[in-house]
């Protein structure tokens, strides 16, 4: 239970880090253009503490829901050479999209690591065509079982079995179950991979195992690699290419969702609503398959957040770009009060929707997460 909570906290902090990177994108470009940045905050007020360096306050706040940058004059009403409004429109556009670009840069860096260390994910028993290195992984070992006596450990990979004069390479769970089931009470030889080394162990499947343990006493999962591992110097190239491909696929996915919604077809098969809490649970579950899959999931979230922030909705970066476009067309900016009121309305709508999704979809997910962690 404690490990489940720790994993959940790490997953949540990973999302916070993404939001800090996003806000840093706005921050660094604003600084580059000489705009006064009044505050860079982690979390949302009320403030826990803050320290002023130069003209900027760097703060940590009580509500751990992201991060923020307070740029001088961004909310309107101030128009001098150090303010947001005092810049040319193209510079303001760059400040706005700086956060979005930061998400993509983060994704490239994350996927570069993934291509270097590799990433595995659970798969079914389908044919191996198109799969990268399908293998059967030991998830858990039951106490006082043949597997434990033979020295098999969680994380080992089942490579092959020799039984009754027959030899078989194993890349499906069903293969292992069929061969061990046909050799109850007989000694078999199992080759496992651990830390890139092959080890040979001997065990005898039980004729009458304890309830819920199985004849060998292992829980197995079939895994395959998400990506081909590559060298450290090629990993950034692969990371950039994969980020581009994933962005295109994500855009297609969003298009299908909106097309189905506008044509009353509903969500595409497999699509689910998830708020920040639900995404945290998904991340925590991803962590159980190793750091590679955990990082892969964060990389994909970073891409989706980049695209989502470009939606033309006030309170998002895309909405700010729309206001700047209107200013460019009209030749003057929209009233600061009008822009603020519109932004507040849409912010309330987004928060309300987020709360609904959290209560309706995310609370059951987190309950299931803790329930499964207790059962383990």
**Predicted confidence (pLDDT) per residue in 216-268, tens digit:** 999 899 988 888 889 999 999 999 999 999 999 999 988 888 887 777 666 65
The answer, yes or no, to whether residue 4 has pLDDT greater than 80, is no
Q: What is the CATH code for 121-225?
A: 2.30.42.10
Do the Cβ atoms of 152 and 192 come closer than 8 Å? Answer: yes
Compute the distance between CA of residue 237 and CA of residue 355 in angstroms, rounded to an integer: 39
The answer, yes or no, to whether residue 73 has pLDDT greater than 90, is no
Nearest CA among 140, 207, 189 for reference residue 375: 140
Bond preceding residue 46 cis, omega within 30 of 0: yes
Residue-wise pLDDT tens digits, 321-333: 999 999 999 888 8
Query: What percent of the chain stands above pLDDT 90?
Result: 57
Find the angle CA(320)-CA(347)-CA(359) to the nearest 5 degrees. 140
Q: What's the pLDDT at 128?
A: 65
Q: What's the pLDDT at 269?
A: 55
Give the start-to-end residue ranges of the domains of the chain: 2-36+72-119+241-375, 121-225
Do the Cβ atoms of 45 and 65 come closer than 8 Å? Answer: no
pTM of the full predicted structure? 0.83
């Amino acid at each position: 239970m404690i490990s489940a909570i720790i994993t959940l906290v790490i997953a949540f902090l990973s999302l916070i880090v993404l939001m800090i990177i996003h806000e840093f994108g706005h921050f660094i470009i604003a600084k580059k253009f000489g705009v006064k940045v009044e505050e860079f905050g982690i979390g949302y007020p009320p403030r826990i503490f803050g320290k002023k360096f130069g003209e900027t306050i760097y703060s940590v706040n009580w509500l751990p829901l992201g991060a923020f940058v307070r740029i001088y004059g961004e909310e309107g009403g101030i128009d001098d050479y150090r303010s947001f409004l005092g810049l040319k429109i193209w510079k303001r556009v760059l400040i706005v999209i700086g956060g979005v670009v930061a998400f993509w840069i983060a994704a490239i860096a994350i996927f570069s690591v993934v291509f270097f260390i590799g990433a595995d994910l659970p798969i079914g028993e389908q044919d191996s065509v198109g799969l990268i290195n399908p293998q059967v992984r030991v998830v858990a070992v039951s106490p006082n079982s043949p597997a434990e006596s033979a020295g098999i450990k969680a994380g080992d990979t089942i490579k092959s079995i020799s039984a009754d004069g027959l030899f078989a390479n194993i890349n499906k769970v069903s293969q292992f179950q069929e061969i061990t089931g046909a050799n109850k009470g007989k000694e078999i030889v199992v080759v496992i991979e651990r830390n890139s080394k092959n080890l040979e162990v001997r065990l005898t499947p039980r004729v009458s195992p304890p309830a819920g343990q199985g004849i060998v006493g292992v829980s197995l999962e079939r895994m395959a690699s998400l990506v081909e591992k590559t060298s450290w110097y090629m990993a950034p190239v692969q990371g950039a290419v994969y980020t581009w491909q994933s962005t295109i696929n994500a855009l297609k996915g969003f298009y299908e969702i909106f097309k189905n919604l506008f044509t009353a077809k509903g969500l595409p098969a497999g699509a689910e609503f998830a708020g920040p809490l639900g995404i945290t649970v998904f991340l925590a579950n991803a962590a159980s398959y190793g750091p590679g899959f955990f990082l892969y999931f964060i990389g994909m979230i970073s891409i989706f957040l980049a695209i989502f922030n470009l939606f033309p909705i006030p309170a998002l970066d895309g909405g700010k770009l729309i206001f700047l476009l209107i200013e460019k067309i009209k030749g003057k900016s929209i009233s600061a009060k009008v822009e603020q009121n519109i932004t507040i309305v849409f912010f309330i709508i987004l928060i309300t929707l987020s709360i609904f999704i959290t209560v309706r979809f995310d609370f059951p997910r987190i309950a299931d997460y803790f329930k499964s962690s207790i059962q383990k």
